[in-house]
Amino acid sequence: MQRYLSVLFVALIAMTGCTPNIQNNEEVIETEPTINGLSENERMTIWDEYIRAQDRARLEITRSLKILDPNDPKYADMRNEFDHDLYSRQFGERETLIKLKQDEYEREVAEKFGLTHEQLTEIGNEGTRKEWPFPPEPEGLWN
Protein backbone atom coordinates (compact mmCIF):
# COMPACT_ATOMS: atom_id res chain seq x y z
CA MET A 1 0.00 0.00 0.00
CA GLN A 2 2.77 2.42 0.92
CA ARG A 3 4.56 1.64 -2.32
CA TYR A 4 1.34 2.28 -4.25
CA LEU A 5 0.93 5.70 -2.58
CA SER A 6 4.53 6.61 -3.38
CA VAL A 7 4.05 5.75 -7.05
CA LEU A 8 0.78 7.67 -7.11
CA PHE A 9 2.47 10.71 -5.54
CA VAL A 10 5.28 10.67 -8.13
CA ALA A 11 2.70 10.30 -10.93
CA LEU A 12 0.74 13.29 -9.67
CA ILE A 13 3.88 15.39 -9.53
CA ALA A 14 4.81 14.36 -13.08
CA MET A 15 1.32 15.18 -14.35
CA THR A 16 1.33 18.67 -12.88
CA GLY A 17 4.79 19.43 -14.19
CA CYS A 18 6.25 19.98 -10.76
CA THR A 19 9.70 18.78 -10.07
CA PRO A 20 10.32 17.87 -6.48
CA ASN A 21 13.19 19.77 -4.96
CA ILE A 22 14.92 17.28 -2.74
CA GLN A 23 17.99 18.46 -0.91
CA ASN A 24 20.47 16.45 1.03
CA ASN A 25 21.14 18.34 4.23
CA GLU A 26 23.54 15.82 5.71
CA GLU A 27 26.39 18.31 5.52
CA VAL A 28 24.52 20.95 7.49
CA ILE A 29 25.83 20.87 11.03
CA GLU A 30 23.93 22.64 13.76
CA THR A 31 26.28 25.24 15.22
CA GLU A 32 25.79 27.58 18.11
CA PRO A 33 25.23 31.20 17.19
CA THR A 34 28.17 33.55 17.25
CA ILE A 35 27.90 37.14 18.37
CA ASN A 36 30.78 39.50 17.67
CA GLY A 37 32.68 36.44 16.44
CA LEU A 38 32.37 34.69 19.81
CA SER A 39 30.73 31.32 20.35
CA GLU A 40 28.28 30.85 23.18
CA ASN A 41 30.92 28.92 25.15
CA GLU A 42 33.37 31.81 24.75
CA ARG A 43 30.68 34.28 25.85
CA MET A 44 29.91 32.12 28.87
CA THR A 45 33.60 32.24 29.83
CA ILE A 46 33.53 36.03 29.53
CA TRP A 47 30.28 36.11 31.57
CA ASP A 48 32.02 34.16 34.33
CA GLU A 49 34.92 36.62 34.47
CA TYR A 50 32.53 39.57 34.24
CA ILE A 51 30.57 38.37 37.30
CA ARG A 52 33.76 37.53 39.21
CA ALA A 53 35.05 41.06 38.51
CA GLN A 54 31.86 42.59 39.89
CA ASP A 55 32.00 40.38 42.97
CA ARG A 56 35.69 41.15 43.54
CA ALA A 57 35.00 44.89 43.42
CA ARG A 58 32.12 44.62 45.90
CA LEU A 59 34.17 42.46 48.25
CA GLU A 60 37.20 44.78 48.19
CA ILE A 61 35.21 47.92 48.90
CA THR A 62 32.98 46.25 51.50
CA ARG A 63 36.01 44.96 53.41
CA SER A 64 37.88 48.26 53.26
CA LEU A 65 34.97 50.61 54.01
CA LYS A 66 32.90 49.42 56.95
CA ILE A 67 29.64 51.20 57.64
CA LEU A 68 28.84 52.35 61.16
CA ASP A 69 25.56 50.67 62.00
CA PRO A 70 23.58 52.89 64.38
CA ASN A 71 21.84 49.78 65.75
CA ASP A 72 25.12 48.18 66.78
CA PRO A 73 25.37 48.27 70.62
CA LYS A 74 29.00 49.42 70.53
CA TYR A 75 27.82 52.73 69.03
CA ALA A 76 25.04 53.24 71.61
CA ASP A 77 26.61 56.40 73.00
CA MET A 78 26.75 57.93 69.49
CA ARG A 79 23.03 57.49 68.71
CA ASN A 80 20.97 60.54 67.94
CA GLU A 81 18.39 61.68 65.40
CA PHE A 82 21.04 61.85 62.64
CA ASP A 83 22.11 58.22 62.88
CA HIS A 84 19.77 57.00 60.18
CA ASP A 85 20.93 59.76 57.83
CA LEU A 86 24.56 58.92 58.58
CA TYR A 87 23.97 55.23 57.85
CA SER A 88 22.13 56.02 54.61
CA ARG A 89 24.84 58.41 53.49
CA GLN A 90 27.61 55.91 54.28
CA PHE A 91 25.76 53.15 52.46
CA GLY A 92 25.22 55.36 49.40
CA GLU A 93 28.88 56.41 49.33
CA ARG A 94 30.00 52.79 49.62
CA GLU A 95 27.71 51.74 46.76
CA THR A 96 29.13 54.55 44.61
CA LEU A 97 32.68 53.35 45.30
CA ILE A 98 31.67 49.77 44.53
CA LYS A 99 30.25 50.88 41.18
CA LEU A 100 33.45 52.77 40.32
CA LYS A 101 35.58 49.73 41.21
CA GLN A 102 33.26 47.45 39.21
CA ASP A 103 33.63 49.74 36.20
CA GLU A 104 37.42 49.55 36.55
CA TYR A 105 37.43 45.75 36.71
CA GLU A 106 34.90 45.47 33.88
CA ARG A 107 37.22 47.57 31.68
CA GLU A 108 39.99 45.09 32.46
CA VAL A 109 37.79 42.15 31.42
CA ALA A 110 36.75 43.95 28.22
CA GLU A 111 40.39 44.70 27.37
CA LYS A 112 41.44 41.11 28.10
CA PHE A 113 38.94 39.79 25.55
CA GLY A 114 39.23 42.69 23.08
CA LEU A 115 35.67 43.87 23.65
CA THR A 116 34.05 47.26 23.94
CA HIS A 117 32.12 48.17 27.08
CA GLU A 118 28.90 47.80 25.08
CA GLN A 119 29.82 44.29 23.91
CA LEU A 120 30.68 43.24 27.46
CA THR A 121 27.37 44.66 28.70
CA GLU A 122 25.59 42.77 25.91
CA ILE A 123 27.23 39.52 27.07
CA GLY A 124 26.24 40.34 30.65
CA ASN A 125 22.64 40.86 29.57
CA GLU A 126 22.68 37.64 27.55
CA GLY A 127 23.97 35.70 30.55
CA THR A 128 21.20 37.11 32.71
CA ARG A 129 18.53 36.47 30.08
CA LYS A 130 19.66 32.89 29.44
CA GLU A 131 20.25 32.27 33.15
CA TRP A 132 23.84 31.14 32.72
CA PRO A 133 25.28 29.74 35.95
CA PHE A 134 26.90 32.19 38.30
CA PRO A 135 30.35 31.47 39.67
CA PRO A 136 30.41 30.72 43.41
CA GLU A 137 30.06 33.84 45.55
CA PRO A 138 33.15 34.80 47.51
CA GLU A 139 32.82 34.48 51.28
CA GLY A 140 31.57 37.70 52.86
CA LEU A 141 30.30 39.24 49.61
CA TRP A 142 27.12 40.68 51.12
CA ASN A 143 28.39 41.63 54.59
How many CB atoms neighbour CB 87 within 10 A? 15
Q: Which residues on adjacent β-strands are paired with residue 38?
A: 35
When divided into structural domains, the chain yields a total of 1
Amino acid at 95: E
- Of 25-34, 57-66, 118-127, the range with the lowest mean pLDDT is 25-34
Q: Is residue 116 part of a domain?
A: yes
Q: Is residue 77 part of a domain?
A: yes
- Model pLDDT for residues 109-135, shown as the tens digit of each residue: 999 999 999 999 999 999 999 999 999
- For the chain, give the number of residues: 143
Q: Is residue 74 part of a domain?
A: yes
Domain extent at residue 79: 36-129
**Which pTM does this prediction carry?**
0.66
Confidence of residue 139 (pLDDT cuts 50, 70, 90): confident
CA–CA separation, 33 and 19 (whole Å): 34
Is pLDDT above 70 for 42? Answer: yes
Helices 117-129 + 83-113 axis angle, to 10:
110
Range 7-35 average pLDDT: 54
Q: What is the pLDDT of residue 141?
A: 76
Q: Is residue 29 part of a domain?
A: no
